[in-house]
């Protein structure tokens, strides 16, 4: 009797800054593994690594190769190996550009900081304020976090043209786990989304 073909596990990449959040990441990844996903995350040592590439290149290649993407925007910006953007920031921009099936969640402090600071960050015509400067705080260690949040909500796209800009807020790790349950527990639904979005991918 012929063996039934094994359906490959869905590969989900979890993108997040790590320092200070190791325990949370382990809990998040374990929850996704419990839903029978193959989880890629650098802290969990599960990113497929090519020794001939840089850390950034390996992470971006993982974004390209994963089936779905889960991005967590925290109040720490993370490592910037060169240039202006952190690896996590580049990963999230890559997932958006590739039109990956993606889900984002942002810490409430970043959402609040964005509302408080946007009157100083931008001129009345919407352009960036060239005189605006920001010093690191415990609440928000880099202003790039607001730029990253703006990218995930497609802030620069006309509201009527925005697709894939839903970003949940969280305060505690339980909020993240609830989003994971809502979005990932039904694998049949996730597989259907993957197939639907393959048509739209560049």
CATH of the domain at 22: 3.40.50.450
74 CB-contact burial (10 Å; exposed 0-12 / middle 13-18 / buried 19+) = buried
- Comparing 9-18, 97-106, 113-122, the range with the smallest average pLDDT is 113-122
d(CA 101, CA 200): 10
What's the CA gap between 79 and 91, in Å, rounded? 12
Tens digit of pLDDT for each residue in 80-111? 987 789 999 999 999 999 999 999 999 999 99
| Residue 98 domain flag | yes
- The answer as to whether 147 is a domain residue is no
For residues 122 and 56, give the distance between their C-alpha atoms in angstroms, rounded to a whole number: 30
| pLDDT, tens digit, 9 for 90 and up, residues 118-134 | 889 888 887 888 888 88
Residue 86 located in a structural domain: yes
Classify residue 142: in a domain, yes or no.
Answer: no
The answer to whether residue 152 sits within a structural domain is no
Range of the domain at 55: 11-108+164-198
Residue 1 lies in a domain: no
User: 80 in a domain, yes or no?
Assistant: yes
Say if 45 falls within a structural domain. Answer: yes
pTM for this prediction:
0.92
Give how far Cα 109 sits from Cα of 21, 85, 100, 106, 172, Å: 16, 20, 26, 8, 11
Count the domains in the chain. Answer: 1
């Amino acid at each position: 009797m012929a063996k039934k073909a094994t359906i490959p596990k869905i590969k989900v990449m979890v993108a997040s800054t790590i320092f200070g959040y190791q325990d949370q990441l382990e809990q998040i990844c374990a929850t996704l593994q419990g839903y029978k996903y193959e989880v890629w995350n650098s802290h969990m040592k599960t990113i497929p690594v090519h020794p001939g590439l840089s850390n950034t290149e390996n992470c971006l290649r993982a974004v390209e190769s994963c089936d779905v993407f889960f991005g967590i925007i925290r109040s720490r910006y993370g490592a910037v190996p060169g240039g202006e953007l952190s690896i996590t920031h580049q990963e999230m921009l890559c997932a958006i550009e590739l039109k990956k099936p993606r889900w984002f969640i942002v810490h409430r402090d970043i959402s609040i900081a964005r509302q408080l600071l946007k009157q100083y960050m931008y001129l009345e015509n919407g352009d960036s304020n060239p005189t605006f400067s920001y010093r690191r705080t415990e609440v928000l260690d880099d202003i790039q976090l607001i730029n990253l949040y703006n990218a995930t909500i497609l802030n620069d796209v006309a509201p009527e043209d925005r697709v894939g800009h839903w970003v949940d807020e969280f305060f505690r790790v339980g909020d993240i786990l609830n989003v994971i349950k809502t979005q990932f527990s039904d694998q049949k639904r996730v597989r259907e989304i993957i197939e639907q979005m393959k048509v739209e991918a560049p």
